[in-house]
C-alpha cells in the first residue's frame, strides 16, 4: 500500500535505521540516495541504465518541468513516468527552492510568489495550490509541499516569517487534490535557529504528512551547521515516518546524517561532478582529466564492479574527456552513480548487521574530499 513505511532494523550504536517505503511505483529501500533528474532525465543516463544500477527512485524538478515542457503536456502524455519511460518511483520537489534561488523575484505574498522565468523572462506565479496542481499533473509518487527556503545567512526575523509562510502553505498543500497513490511530505524550515526548527517540525507533525523533509540546509552554510540543522530537526519528527534531508550529497554528510536517523537524500553532486571530469570513489574524489592519469591502466576505482570500471581504464576515460567525447562523461556518470547507490546499499547492510559504527569509523578514516593518492601524485610530479 502506498505510504507504508516499515522500519526493519536499528543499529544499537546510534540512531541509524533501515526501512522500506512503499510507493505507487514500487518499493524503496532506505537509507536511499535519489539521483536528480531535473528535466525528466538523469543527465546522460537512460532509464534502462538507471535500472541496471539498482536505482529505485529518482527526483524530478517541479520548477523546471513547469517551465518546460509544462505540466499540461506531461499530463496529456500520460504523466511523468510514461513521458520519461521510468516505471519506478519519482519524488518531485515543490519548486520553492528554485523560485527563490533562480527566478527574479517580483513579489512574495501570503498566496505565493510572482517571479520571472530564468529561461525566457516570462512572468509566473507559484503558490501552494499551484505547486500541488503541477505535481498532481506530473503524477509523481511523492510530492513536496511548497515552502519558503530562506538564504544563509539570514536574520531571525526573516527566518521566522519564512517558517510562518511555510506552515500556512503546508496546511493548504495538505488538503490539495493529489494524483492516485501520491504521497505528500512536509518540509521543516527554520534556518540555523533551533527553536524555529523545533516549532516548525512540531506544527508539521500535527498536520500528519506521509513523511517529513529537513529543508533549508546545504544552502551555503558550513558542514557543522548542516549537521546541527539535522540535529535540531530530526528528534522532533515521528519515528514511524520517513525522513528526507534535501539537497545533501557529500558522502561524509550522508554517513553522519544516517547516524542521526535520516532515511532519504538527493543531490546533483555525482552527476554534476562527472560532467566536470571528477570521479567519486570510497576513498575520495579525483580529476581523471589530470595529466598524471594519461597512462594509468587502472579502472576509475579499483575493486568497483560498474560497467565503466569493468571495461575501461583511467587513461581511456581521460582521453575521452579531454577531447570532448560524450562517452567520457557518460562513463564517469555511470561510475559515480554506481558508487553512490552501492554506498547506500552497504550502509543498509551495515545497519542490518548492527555494525554501522564500524562502517562509519572505517569510512571516515579512509575518505578525503580530494583523494590522498591524487594529492601525493601531484606532489611527486611537481
Are 187 and 147 spatial neighbours (Cβ–Cβ below 8 Å)? yes
Q: What is the mean pLDDT of the chain?
A: 94
pLDDT given at position 236: 98
Domains of the chain: 5-267 (3.20.20.105), 274-380 (no CATH)
| Res 115 pLDDT > 90 | no
Q: Is 87 a catalytic residue?
A: no
* Active-site residue, selected from the candidate residues 141, 147, 232, 266: 266
- Count other C-beta atoms under 10 Å from residue 140's C-beta: 30
pLDDT tens-place string over residues 218-261:
999 998 999 999 999 999 999 999 999 999 999 999 999 999 99
Q: Give the residue-averaged pLDDT of 22-35.
A: 98
Per-residue pLDDT at 98 exceeds 60: yes
pLDDT digits (tens, 9 = 90+) for 165-196: 999 999 999 999 999 999 999 999 999 999 99
pLDDT, tens digit (0-9, with 9 covering 90-100), for 129-151? 999 999 999 999 999 999 999 98
Given a cut of 70, whether residue 379 has pLDDT beyond it is: no
- The active-site residue, picked from 93, 141, 147, 210, is 93
The answer to whether the predicted template modeling score (pTM) of the entire model surpasses 0.85 is yes
266 catalytic residue (yes or no)? yes
Query: Is residue 152 pLDDT above 70, yes or no?
Result: yes
The answer for 262, left when phi > 0, alpha when psi is -120 to 50, beta otherwise, is: beta
pLDDT at 95: 84
Q: What is the pLDDT of residue 382?
A: 36
Average pLDDT over residues 266-284: 97
Amino acid at each position: 500500500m502506498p505510504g507504508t513505511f516499515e522500519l526493519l532494523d536499528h543499529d544499537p550504536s546510534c540512531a541509524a535505521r533501515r526501512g522500506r517505503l512503499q510507493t505507487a511505483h514500487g518499493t524503496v529501500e532506505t537509507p536511499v540516495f535519489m539521483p536528480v533528474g531535473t528535466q525528466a532525465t538523469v543527465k546522460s543516463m537512460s532509464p534502462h541504465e538507471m535500472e541496471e544500477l539498482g536505482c529505485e527512485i529518482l527526483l524530478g524538478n517541479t520548477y523546471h518541468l513547469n517551465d518546460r515542457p509544462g505540466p499540461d503536456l506531461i499530463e496529456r502524455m500520460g504523466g511523468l513516468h510514461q513521458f520519461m519511460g521510468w516505471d519506478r518511483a519519482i519524488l518531485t520537489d515543490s519548486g520553492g527552492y528554485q523560485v527563490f534561488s533562480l527566478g527574479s523575484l517580483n513579489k512574495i505574498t501570503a498566496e505565493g510568489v510572482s517571479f520571472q522565468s530564468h529561461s525566457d523572462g516570462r512572468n509566473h506565479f507559484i503558490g501552494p495550490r499551484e505547486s500541488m496542481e503541477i505535481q498532481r499533473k506530473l503524477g509523481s509518487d511523492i510530492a513536496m509541499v511548497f515552502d519558503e527556503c530562506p538564504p544563509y545567512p539570514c536574520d531571525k526575523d526573516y527566518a521566522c516569517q519564512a517558517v510562518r509562510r511555510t506552515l500556512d502553505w503546508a496546511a493548504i498543500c495538505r488538503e490539495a487534490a493529489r494524483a492516485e497513490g501520491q504521497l505528500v511530505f512536509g518540509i521543516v524550515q527554520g534556518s540555523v535557529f533551533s527553536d524555529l526548527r523545533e516549532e516548525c517540525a512540531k506544527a508539521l507533525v500535527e498536520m500528519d504528512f506521509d513523511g517529513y523533509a529537513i529543508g533549508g540546509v546545504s544552502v551555503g552554510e558550513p558542514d557543522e551547521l548542516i549537521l546541527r540543522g539535522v540535529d535540531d530537526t530530526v528528534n522532533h519528527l515521528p519515528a514511524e515516518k520517513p525522513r528526507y534531508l534535501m539537497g545533501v550529497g557529500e558522502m561524509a554528510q550522508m554517513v553522519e546524517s544516517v547516524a542521526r536517523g535520516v532515511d532519504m537524500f538527493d543531490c546533483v553532486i555525482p552527476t554534476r561532478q562527472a560532467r566536470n571530469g571528477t570521479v567519486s570513489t570510497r576513498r575520495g574524489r579525483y580529476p581523471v582529466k589530470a595529466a598524471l592519469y594519461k597512462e594509468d591502466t587502472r579502472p576509475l576505482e579499483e575493486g568497483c564492479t560498474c560497467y565503466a570500471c569493468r571495461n575501461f581504464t583511467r587513461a581511456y576515460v581521460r582521453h575521452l574527456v579531454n577531447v570532448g567525447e560524450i562517452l567520457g562523461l557518460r562513463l564517469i556518470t555511470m561510475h559515480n552513480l554506481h558508487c553512490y547507490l552501492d554506498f547506500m546499499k552497504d550502509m543498509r547492510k551495515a545497519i542490518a548487521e548492527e555494525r554501522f559504527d564500524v562502517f562509519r569509523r572505517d569510512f571516515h578514516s579512509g575518505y578525503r574530499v580530494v583523494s590522498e593518492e591524487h594529492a601525493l601524485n601531484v606532489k611527486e610530479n611537481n
